[in-house]
Structure 1
Amino acid sequence: MKNNPPSNFALYLFFIFIIPSSSSSSSDFAAARSALLSLRSAVGGRTLLWNTSLPTPCSWSGVQCKNDVVVGLRLPGYSLSGELTSAIFKNLTSLRTLSLRFNKLSGDFPPDLSACSELRSLNLQGNRFSGEIPDSLSLLNKLVRLSLANNNLTGKIPESLSKLKRLKTLYLEDNHLTGFLPELKLQLDLFNVSNNRLSGSIPVSLSSMPESAFLGNKLCGKPLQICPGIAAGTGVLTGGHKKKKRGLSGGAIAGIVIGAVVAFAIILMIIVFVCGKKRSRQTNAVDNSLISKQSGVEIPGVKPIGVTENPGSGNAYSVSAAAAAVMASNRNSKAEESNGVGASKKLVFFGDGIGGKMFDLEDLLRASAEVLGKGTFGTAYKAVLEIGTVVAVKRLKDVTISESEFKEKMETVGAMEHENLVPLRAYYYSRDEKLLVYDYMPMGSLSAFLHGNKGAGRTPLNWQMRSAIALGVARGITYLHSQGPDISHGNVKSSNILLTKSHEARVSDFGLVHLVGPSSALSRASGYRAPEVTDPQRVSQKADVYSFGVLLLELLTGKAPSHTLLNDEGVDLPRWVQSIVKEDWSSEVFDLELLRDQHAEEEMVQLLQLAVDCVAQHPDSRPSMHEVTYRIRELWGSTSSLNDLGDESSMQRLLYLPFIM
């Protein structure tokens, strides 16, 4: 009998608390489900393939739940069109993230969005919303990130946005907003109002933002040009600028006259100097042309007399000029040899040559060729030999080491053999020319694939291809690091990742950073270099890990680190991604081409986290490349999309071969 009261009391608590809680949860789900179905019926375009037979919407594409509550709705790039009705967001009050970016939604700003009081991130960029920005946005006092860029919004920017004390990102560019910029007393990290119709002076609270944040308006003041006579934020003339202009003093006039005379004298001296140099160049050109005509060999930069350049063969002409320089250098070397100076110069091969075939320097110089591009260490050419072999030739520039050192380093590079490296097949050294011969990679660089032409006929890099490329690059760099604690690549970037016909990754340009002078090494593409690197010729393995992390971010976002990123805000790629991840907007960083595969989002987020780990500011906080490769292999081992690659055998090799080969 003594146990009955507690038992009854527990039963009482169950009916009082548990059952109503369960009922409330079911009610919330029903309301959220109804709201999402209202959204689907209100918009056109791409069909939202939601399985409505399921009791809850948590498994629907783009819907995110936490503790059985809908907290996120991400439908970027779905080609959704139409207007959002007022029956949607009032039943999604627990939303923390809403992303409808890059769709075709129109009409006024969603009227009941202010009911989503838990909203942290709101991205409606790239739609066709019109009308004014409502004051009701100020009710979303937990908002951290707001992007309404690239719409048709009109009217003024409401001063009530100052109430959003947690706001860190505000994008309003590419709209039709008018009036003055309000004094937004917020701690903003990212801000942009470019390409609107704003006027007046820039408020002090926004003066620390970059110039690009204000371009395309009629704005003035820091960081743009000074706007004299305009009171900050008002557009009203101040009294201090209404004074009558006075004439120049005699001293000022004399100073102007003296300055003009000095400037004229300097200009005259420059003209005389330039004309003298031009006459000298013309004389040299005539002499070189005569030599070229007599010898049948082109001098670099000089077109032989009597030869008409083919407009369609500019690349071939550039190569023949380069070949002429090498041939001239070779003749000089033979002259030195005949005088007992130096040794005979020829191509030095590694292994069995290219495809079991070897050739000499003369064969290489007679090859038809085209320029592939100019990089950090020199110009690369595609050369087709008369025997049918196709090779890639890199003509090095600014080599600062001796011949013995050059040969020693080339022997080290030539000994590197791994299926994810572009092998060095041969090299040539003379006093004036240094050439490297590689296998030719027909698909070009990863950089060209990511940032080149995205028009019709382009093969998009989907998730399976990008993650396979990431694994291939990781394996190649891991192999390099395994050759010794002091061996690193030193110049990891997307333009140094070449692709085979089956889109397998090959790492190129390894071992070259020590050949050139510091000034050339410093010219490496910005955005990839680790913050601790001060000497570009001394790059640690952990600095390679940082560069690889940036490469991963480039693969995932589709953005080039060499550009000022995120609407020209001047923020580098790692900082931009880290700010978004911190705001729980991880899915917003992904390239739209990746978002077509909704089932791979979890793997994308995992690879994103690995990239963030790699770009840690302190080197000791970064994983090793061996660990990076292991984590990517584990990620691939958990996916079931091998067949989507189109070449399963290639992926199997990446997965199951050992790290070091």
Structure 2
Amino acid sequence: MNEYKLEEIVEATENFDQSRVIGKGSHGFVYRGILKDGKFVAIKKQSPGLQKLQDNTKLKNEACILSSLPHNPYLISLLGTSHDSFKNKLLVMEHMPKGTLYEALHLADDDDERTLDWPHRLKTAIQIAKAVQFLHEENPPVVHRDIKSANILFDQNHDAKLADFGLAIRMDGEDSLSRPAAGTIGYLDPCYTVPSKLSTKVDVFSYGVLLFEIISGRKAIDVSRKPAAIVEWASTLIEKRRFLDICDERIELPHYMESSIKKLIFIASHCVSLIENLRPSMAEIVVQLGKSAIDERPVVRFPLWTSFLCGFALQRWQRKLGSKTDSTEINNKGNSNGVNISKGALLVREIFAEIT
């Protein structure tokens, strides 16, 4: 792991100027920095209170967990560390320029590029599920303990990555089961009340809450609504079989995606079960989400006039091959004289080129 000089970090952030702040959390602040080579990075620094206490617990834990993991495209990358003049740890992370999932769901307006359409929401759900599956399949497993929309970041290509490993635990012995239960209210598994109750199912519950949030555009806890908790609200609608009433009404749900979104709601409801053994594993969730992604592909319907063009293309194809094969036979078998039917598609392109 790289160890950056403090002078380089100070220069990259303009001495931690407030205009460079791109995120805030319980640990402190995240600054956008530009290294000497022109590379954009995100730099985590403790809050003033933790600096005075020289409490490096969360940042040390995050560095320890991330540095122990192999690269994964759905996890934030740790580029290196540094230390301030008081020996407090600084983390140098990859920069994620498109903001957080929380911002996209709750702060973006209709014209904001961060606004997520339904296909992007499904893609985000799949990418984060794969991230958590990767953690759980480590040996020993890693439990994130703080899966929430504010900890999901988007890169330049609008792909999602799971971030903030300050509370993460590698389940490798008694020490891992001695840490107090922790998490964020609204996402925290109600069954996780004592250290001994730590398991991968803790993350599964949080992921279920996240799914409801992605689908509804509603916050995990919103005191301005009744009920305030998203799980209680969604569960009531599910009991009444009003599945589509859970969907974010700010954006229209395409008809071809209704089945996929209902499957996501079904998955989310199982994730937040109060009976831990009934919650699926993240591997099972990824499989089910993959099926939903296949289901959401729209059926393409062509105008009637394309049938005429295809017939014309097949006739030209036959003349070029010198074949007398009946076009009906070609349509049925999809192949004649060992030549792939895709050549007919190429001829259709030629016809469009001639017409236009």
TM-score by length of 2: 0.71
CA distance in 1, matches of 2:57, 2:205: 32
**Structural mapping, 1:190-589, within 5 Å:** 348-349=1-2, 359-367=4-12, 368=14, 370-396=20-46, 398=50, 410-416=63-69, 417-429=71-83, 432-510=87-165, 512-513=167-168, 524-535=183-194, 539-564=198-223, 568-589=225-246
Residues 1:619 and 1:382: Cα distance change in structure 2 (over 3 Å):
same
Cα deviation for residue 392 of structure 1 reads: 0.3
CA contact (8 A) 2:192 2:198 kept: yes
CA contact (8 A) 1:530 1:543 kept: yes
Q: C-alpha offsets along residues 584-618 of structure 1, whole Å, 9 cap, x if unaligned? A: 21111100245341221111111110011101112
Cα deviation for residue 532 of structure 1 reads: 1.4
CA contact (8 A) 1:488 1:511 kept: no
Q: Provide the aligned C-alpha RMSD in A.
A: 3.2
Instruction: Give the 3-state SS of the residue equivalent to 1:629 in structure 2.
Output: helix
CA contact (8 A) 2:108 2:114 kept: no
Determine the structure 2 residue equivalent to 1:76.
Answer: none
| AA aligned opposite 2:68 | A
Instruction: Give the 3-state SS of the residue equivalent to 2:45 in structure 1.
Output: strand
Q: C-alpha offsets along residues 28-53 of structure 1, whole Å, 9 cap, x if unaligned? A: xxxxxxxxxxxxxxxxxxxxxxxxxx
Instruction: Give the 3-state SS of the residue equivalent to 1:568 in structure 2.
Output: coil
2:249 is aligned with 1:592 = yes
Residues 1:404 and 1:583: Cα distance change in structure 2 (over 3 Å):
closer
Moved more, 524-533 or 589-598: 589-598
Cα deviation for residue 525 of structure 1 reads: 3.6
Richer in helix (by share): 2
Q: C-alpha offsets along residues 447-499 of structure 1, whole Å, 9 cap, x if unaligned? A: 00110131434453111100000000000111011113542111100000001
Determine the structure 1 residue equivalent to 2:306.
Answer: none
CA distance in 2, matches of 1:537, 1:402: 25
Q: C-alpha offsets along residues 421-459 of structure 1, whole Å, 9 cap, x if unaligned? A: 001111235765121110000001000011013143445
**Structural mapping, 1:55-134, within 5 Å:** none
Q: C-alpha offsets along residues 179-201 of structure 1, whole Å, 9 cap, x if unaligned? A: xxxxxxxxxxxxxxxxxxxxxxx
CA distance in 2, matches of 1:404, 1:527: 24
| AA aligned opposite 1:383 | G
Determine the structure 2 residue equivalent to 1:293.
Answer: none
CA contact (8 A) 2:181 2:192 kept: no
Residues 1:443 and 1:434: Cα distance change in structure 2 (over 3 Å):
same
Determine the structure 1 residue equivalent to 2:343.
Answer: none
Cα deviation for residue 403 of structure 1 reads: 8.2
CA contact (8 A) 1:530 1:547 kept: yes
Cα deviation for residue 623 of structure 1 reads: 0.5
Residues 1:409 and 1:440: Cα distance change in structure 2 (over 3 Å):
closer
Residues 1:563 and 1:537: Cα distance change in structure 2 (over 3 Å):
farther
Q: C-alpha offsets along residues 276-296 of structure 1, whole Å, 9 cap, x if unaligned? A: xxxxxxxxxxxxxxxxxxxxx
Q: C-alpha offsets along residues 86-122 of structure 1, whole Å, 9 cap, x if unaligned? A: xxxxxxxxxxxxxxxxxxxxxxxxxxxxxxxxxxxxx
Q: C-alpha offsets along residues 627-658 of structure 1, whole Å, 9 cap, x if unaligned? A: 11111012112332599xxxxxxxxxxxxxxx
Cα deviation for residue 405 of structure 1 reads: 11
**Structural mapping, 1:35-74, within 5 Å:** none
Residues 1:428 and 1:522: Cα distance change in structure 2 (over 3 Å):
farther
Instruction: Give the 3-state SS of the residue equivalent to 1:559 in structure 2.
Output: coil
Residues 1:441 and 1:449: Cα distance change in structure 2 (over 3 Å):
same
| AA aligned opposite 1:630 | V
Cα deviation for residue 408 of structure 1 reads: 8.1
CA contact (8 A) 2:209 2:220 kept: yes
Instruction: Give the 3-state SS of the residue equivalent to 2:143 in structure 1.
Output: coil
Residues 1:573 and 1:361: Cα distance change in structure 2 (over 3 Å):
same
CA distance in 2, matches of 1:393, 1:605: 39
Determine the structure 2 residue equivalent to 1:610.
Answer: 267
Instruction: Give the 3-state SS of the residue equivalent to 2:211 in structure 1.
Output: helix
Determine the structure 2 residue equivalent to 1:77.
Answer: none
Structure 1: runs of 5+ lacking an equivalent = 1-347, 350-357, 516-520, 644-661
CA contact (8 A) 1:595 1:601 kept: no
Count of aligned pairs:
282
Residues 1:538 and 1:388: Cα distance change in structure 2 (over 3 Å):
farther
CA contact (8 A) 1:462 1:593 kept: no
CA distance in 1, matches of 2:238, 2:294: 25
Cα deviation for residue 377 of structure 1 reads: 2.5
Q: C-alpha offsets along residues 347-372 of structure 1, whole Å, 9 cap, x if unaligned? A: x52xxxxxxxx853211111235111
Residues 1:451 and 1:408: Cα distance change in structure 2 (over 3 Å):
closer
Cα deviation for residue 536 of structure 1 reads: 7.8
**Structural mapping, 1:177-192, within 5 Å:** none
CA contact (8 A) 1:553 1:574 kept: yes
CA distance in 2, matches of 1:542, 1:385: 40
Structure number with the bigger relative contact order (C-alpha 8 A, sep ≥ 6) is 2
Cα deviation for residue 579 of structure 1 reads: 0.5
- Identity among equivalent positions (%) equals 27
CA distance in 2, matches of 1:594, 1:624: 30
| AA aligned opposite 2:9 | L
Residues 1:642 and 1:437: Cα distance change in structure 2 (over 3 Å):
farther
Q: C-alpha offsets along residues 491-549 of structure 1, whole Å, 9 cap, x if unaligned? A: 1000000011222110001254469xxxxx98854210000122589742101000000
CA distance in 2, matches of 1:482, 1:523: 21
Instruction: Give the 3-state SS of the residue equivalent to 1:383 in structure 2.
Output: strand
Residues 1:374 and 1:536: Cα distance change in structure 2 (over 3 Å):
farther
2:282 is aligned with 1:631 = no
